[in-house]
Amino acid sequence: MSTPQSLQVTAIPAFADNYLWLIHDQQYAAVVDPGDAAPIEAALRSRGLKLHAILLTHHHADHAGGVEELLAQWSVPVYGPAGERIQGVSRPLREGDNVDLSALGLQLTVLDVPGHTAGHIAYVAADQHWLFCGDTLFAGGCGRLFEGTPQQMTQSLAKLVSLPDDTLVYCAHEYTLSNLRFAIAAEPDNTDLATRLEQVQQMRARGESTVPSTIGLEKRTNPFLRYREPSIRRTLLSSGRLSNDDPVAAFAVLREWKNSFR
């Protein structure tokens, strides 16, 4: 691995439950999805860092809302999805593009992951095994389908699942506990899931972050990656939510059920 030891990822909490991700060494920083500029400016100041780049996954305000204010302070490239119109984006990206953040010694590749929004992208740091996936894959869940179809979202999630199991999943919200409460309803006999739910309950009670997750853990416990599993299909069939054996239909039904789950 060519990564300098000092390159790290720090969560900057914002709003009610967002994580803005600061990728930095001792000198430079890149920020992923700065929905708010103030906490980013504060983090840069307190650590003595210079902003080097802004990376966006999709157009929602809680992800891109701080861009203009940051650009007033810093003259930096703004990477973002080619398929969405976002104020300030200077480097539109699509699947297969590379982002070379030379000051940080960091290379990222881009995946198209439509579903939550139509042009949503994700960034993969292949050397570091880091994934920045915005609101596509969450710890224990996935994003709502605001602009895309279940078919698109299953294809997007399949790309993320193909990453190495030890890939760290830097998603954009602390939704894990409510996601896992739903997951256990969908798959009550999954013992890995029961263990994870208990751990996450304890972590949240202590006020700890449950992000990043890993691809391996998500594969074992996230119902939106496990909709082909017989155990989940049984839950959907026996509750009358599903009446055929189309896996995408199972995914769609699961996502709809989650929307109204309390």
Which residue in 25, 60, 112, 120 is the catalytic one? 60
Q: Are 22 and 170 in contact (CB under 8 A)?
A: no
DSSP class of 82: T
- Tell me the closest approach of the beta carbon of residue 21 to Fe ion, in angstroms: 13
Partner in contact with 36, chosen from Fe ion, Zn ion, none, beta carbon below 5 to 8 Å by kind: none
Q: Is 135 in the site for Zn ion (CB under 5 A)?
A: yes
Q: Are 23 and 12 in contact (CB under 8 A)?
A: no
Q: Is 120 in the site for Zn ion (CB under 5 A)?
A: no
* Residue from 52, 59, 60, 173 in contact with Zn ion (CB under 5 A): 60
- Tell me the closest approach of the beta carbon of residue 63 to Zn ion, in angstroms: 6
How far is it, in rounded angstroms, from Cα 167 to Cα 130?
5
CA angle at 249 for the pair 248 and 253, rounded to the nearest 5°:
120
DSSP class of 116: S
Which residue in 63, 100, 112, 246 is the catalytic one? 63
Q: Are 33 and 59 in contact (CB under 8 A)?
A: no
Report the Cα 32 to chain-centroid distance in Å.
Answer: 10
* Residue from 25, 36, 84, 135 in contact with Fe ion (CB under 5 A): 135
- Tell me the closest approach of the beta carbon of residue 39 to Zn ion, in angstroms: 18
Residues labelled catalytic:
58, 60, 62-63, 116, 135, 173
Q: Rule CB under 5 A: which residues touch Zn ion?
A: 60, 135
